[in-house]
A and B are shown apart, each in its own frame.
Chain A
Amino acid sequence: MCVRVLLVEDDERIRQALSLALSDEGFTVDEAVSGEEAFRRLETEQFDVVLVDLTLPGIDGLEVVRTLRARGDLPIIVVTARTDARDMIAGLEAGADDYVTKPLMASVLAARIRALLRRRGPGREAVRIGDLEIRPQEGLVHRAGERVHLTRTEFRLLLELAGAAGRIVTREQLLQKVWGYDYFGDTRLLDVHIRRLRRKIEANPDDPALLLTVRGTGYRIRS
């Protein structure tokens, strides 16, 4: 099955070069010049992943991410021009699953996309943690009987932690298993996702009772 990628980028040369290189990596690439065009195309067509440059004319890249995230759990990778941590964190907070910085290489991007689209997780059995119920096969999470909407990345993150059954999972392990980073994953990527996840599954995200931080090491689920 061919993976369809929507590339939202205003610089024409970058767009062309990236499409060519990503096609070489085996993806079907569609291009959009602006956020507006991206929304138009997403209404009528199906894509597997969206790449959004954060510096777009018209609708700002962050706004595009926010709108897309509000609509569903389509995987989003943001492309930031600045290494400035604020930009990257803002993109992740807006709902992106991952980020890459320019100059980005198609091979790296391809690895990121493949990791995002992987649907593997430990365990197939339904898991219960407190009032949380996770059904890996259906990809559903209920909290006190009510459905919780998680993105695919959030879901896989939760599943990795739940699969460890209360044992500590290090940041490196999480970055490797959820995002496919060999190493050098920015742990802030993980921190932002943990924050997002807590907002959805914790009664009080500021004082987590389920998803606990183990200082200096990683995280664990209260079993």
Chain B
Amino acid sequence: MRLTLRCRITLSFGFGLLVVTSVLAFATWNLASGYMLRQREASATRQAEVNVRLVEKSLSSPGLDELLTGLTTGPDSSILVIGPDGQVNAGRKVEASQLPADLVEHPPGRSRITVAGLPVIAVTLPVAGNAVYVELFPLQQLDRTFGFLGAVLIAGTIGSALLGAALGSWASKRALRPLAELSSAAVRIAGGDLRARLPDQDDPDLAALAAKFNSTAHALEQRALRDARFASDISHELRSPLTTMVNAGAVLRRRREHLPGTAGTALELLTSEVDRFARMVVDLLEISRADQTDDPPPEEIALDALVRNVIATRAGVPLALEPAVVLGDRRRLDRVLTNLLDNAERHAGGAVLVAVRVSGSRVRLEVEDAGPGVPEPLREQIFERFARGVMAGSRGDDTGSGLGLALVREHVLRLGGRVWVEDRSPHGSRFVVELTEF
């Protein structure tokens, strides 16, 4: 899987800072710990040398024990004087055998060792020719200091890596914000909202991109408007002759019995096609108008009451209505429901259930039929203009305009909702219009 750009910027900021601070921390650690250790060793050596002089003077006197006890600096330090006739010990108990032989046998010497689990600096010095003075300086305190220093350095390193990542995340978000705007504008345009534009950018790098995007979107919008206007103009021009044809047709149809045989059949064909033509022009005008915005301000509409009203003017359909209020244009909702019912009548033998269901903040208007259903690949297509032909064999004596479902989609989009078709069990289809509850 490829990481997103933001992710990569965040990671590289974090990693970069991690490397830099860990190098710094490592160097600091080495310098500080080395320096502190050397200091400690030097001071231990100095102290041992002072002590050894005192010991030398009273080596054979009986007060040696006392002197040694006085010289020890704490419970963890210890002093050993190893002579040819035995050893004297003060402070923490230590045997000569616990010390490295090399150190004891060749004084003077100095070494960092661990005695009985305790880290110490051992300093050995010769006393009075044949004895050895050994002093062990505990390193616990220094170790604690090292531990603290180490913890501070590690925490600082991790902290700065995290800070780096956060900085990277913030910087990339900031840098990519115009891109996010671009993407959301592109999504809106793809969704049919051709008025989506990018805000003006003051960054010269981005201004050119934004300007290009906006001019492209503008051109697209103009083109869509021109197309809509063209369809609308054509329909307008067709209306006058159509009015004449439809009414002349009605007059002729009334006198159908005067035209027997072939002429009568031809007349029927003619008048029914003129009627269909008229419907198509009306729908075409409506769809070109649906692209424009001359909507009245949206009003609150009781969807269940609206459904009941529409159904009251048609053949009875079972209803399952929950009370729901939506915000929108009443005419559009009327047309949506009527067209869905017409569609069910035309292709599936009529609707078998009309339902209004509420779930959360969403309201669903469902029209179910028990017809042949809509095959998966056609479920998007049937909402296209003039998509009638996609359903094999459904043309027949079809008298629709081929715009019914396209109009449904236009209206639903204008109402800020979605429409789709799904399977109904055991067979048939369910057209679902989803709107936001008011």
- The residues of A with any CB-CB pair to B shorter than 8 Å are 11, 13-14, 16-18, 20-21, 24, 81-86, 102-107, 170, 172, 182-184, 186-188, 215-217
Contacts and interface: CB of A to CB of B under 8 A. Distances in A.
A200 B91 CA distance: 116
A221 to B, nearest CB: 21
17 contacts: A13-B240, A14-B240, A17-B243, A17-B251, A20-B251, A21-B250, A83-B286, A84-B294, A102-B242, A102-B243, A103-B243, A103-B282, A104-B243, A170-B305, A184-B334, A188-B296, A217-B305
Interface string B286-306: 100100001010011110010
Contacts of B296: 85, 188
A216 B300 contact: yes
B161 to A, nearest CB: 59
Given A102-B239, A107-B250, 19 more contacts: A11-B244, A14-B244, A14-B247, A17-B244, A17-B245, A17-B248, A17-B251, A18-B243, A20-B251, A24-B250, A81-B240, A86-B294, A102-B242, A102-B243, A103-B242, A183-B310, A183-B312, A184-B334, A215-B299
Interface in B122-156: none
A13 B334 contact: no
Contacts of B282: 103
Contacts of A20: 247-248, 251
Nearest to A11: B240
A216 B330 CA distance: 10
A103 B278 contact: yes
Contact of B325 (A21, A86, A183, A216): A216
Contact of A14 (B243, B301, B305, B310): B243
B239 A103 contact: yes
Interface SS majority for chain B: helix
B244 A184 contact: no
Interface residues of B, number: 36
Contact of B281 (A103, A188, A217): A103
Contacts, number: 86
A175 B331 CA distance: 14
B286 to A, nearest CB: 7
A104 B310 CA distance: 22
A172 B309 contact: yes
B236 A82 contact: yes
A188 B330 CA distance: 10
Nearest to B309: A172
A172 B236 CA distance: 29
B153 to A, nearest CB: 69
B254 interface: yes
B259 to A, nearest CB: 16
